Structure 1
Amino acid sequence: MLLAMRRLARSVTVISSAHDGRRYSMSATAVDSLSTDPPSLLICINRTASLYPPLDAGAPFCVNVLSARHEGIAIDCSGRLKGEARFTTGDWHTSPHGVPYLRDSQASLVCEQDGRFEYGTHTVFIGRIREVLMCGDVDPLVYLDGAYTTPGAPVARAAA
């Protein structure tokens, strides 16, 4: 199953949150849109992740959609750095909702929690989107087959 999932290209995000005066972040690809009414998304978090305790306590979170130039931040937030040190690279700010967000990410979606369920080793958190910030052109950082990459040339569209 893991080898098959490596073939699923995914946009790279950093999920960030704050709780009890501390900031948390982690790189993630298990993120997806859920609904436009209400505007919502879902994130899947391993219960051993450092981000899990604040989310378990109900903290709001932000999904920061990374661009190709953010590969270093993706690596930092996937384990190279720990804790607050993950916020030493990148242009981090705090939203009016008290959530850290990466100011120059392609998109930052600030969410409050609106549901959850547990499955296996993970918890799926539903986030109701409260604020959307966008920056720059569409230039996603993609994770495919265990490596960071960027999309190839667009595929020609078939005539209708």
Structure 2
Amino acid sequence: MNEVTSAPLTIAEQLRAGLRRLGKAVVVITCWHEGRRWAMTATAVSELSMDPPSLLVCVNKSASLHGPLTGKANFCVNILHADHAHVSQACSGKVKGEERFSQGAWEAAPDGTPYLRDAQASFFCTHETHVEYGTHAVVIGAVTGVSWSGDVDPLIYLDGGYARAARLG
């Protein structure tokens, strides 16, 4: 009887498999650049510092938002509510351009940066710097304002799909 063996996983494949086990809040990063709105669903977002208040976002070089963000556009990180899966889907994948704003209650900040009015939280940022690394750019933004709404119930991305956070205890 022939035994079927599979090729060992590359380090990148191992990393991807391991990261499927790391639940992350789903966000939509938005900006206003060269007269148009831009949006992209992401999970690679983190606080960087409280002094000065700042966030970092990681954006693939092939993403449409890469050019505006590395072009020093101000941006907003919108943490999605568990009921915002439709907003996440509209801001990713095959939907392009202005059509990404077809779902959700979008408004504009005074500088034109779009934000989701009923997001769990929206962090308004000015572009500070960015670093290109591998397939991505790491963009650092100085937080200039924060808004939030509703109860804490973020949309989570886990094992290739959406989930709700559950509190223990």
TM range (shorter): over 0.9
Q: How many equivalent pairs are there?
A: 155
The answer as to 2:163 corresponding to 1:155 is no
Give the one of 23, 39, 46 matched to 1:9: 23
* Secondary structure at 1:69 match in 2: helix
Q: Deviating runs (4+, > 3 A) in structure 1? A: none
1:1-160 alignment, distance < 5 Å = 1-152=15-166, 154-156=167-169
Long gaps (5+) in structure 2? 1-14
Q: C-alpha deviations, 1:25-81, integer Å up to 9, x for none?
A: 010000000011111000000011000111121100000000011000101111142
The 2-side partners of 1:100 and 1:42 are apart by 18
Q: C-alpha deviations, 1:98-156, integer Å up to 9, x for none?
A: 2100001010001001121111010000010011111111010000000000012x223
The 1-side partners of 2:126 and 2:35 are apart by 17
* Contact 2:70–2:139 (8 Å) recurs in 1: no
- Counterpart code for 1:155: L
TM-score by length of 2: 0.89
* Secondary structure at 1:79 match in 2: coil
* Secondary structure at 2:157 match in 1: strand
* Secondary structure at 2:18 match in 1: helix
The 1-side partners of 2:94 and 2:118 are apart by 21
Calculate percent identity across the aligned residue pairs.
51
TM-score by length of 1: 0.94
Cα distance, 1:96 vs structure 2: 1.6
* Contact 2:26–2:155 (8 Å) recurs in 1: yes
The alignment's C-alpha RMSD in Å is 0.9
The 1-side partners of 2:42 and 2:120 are apart by 15
User: Which structure's CA Rg is the greater one?
Assistant: 2
* Contact 2:39–2:65 (8 Å) recurs in 1: yes
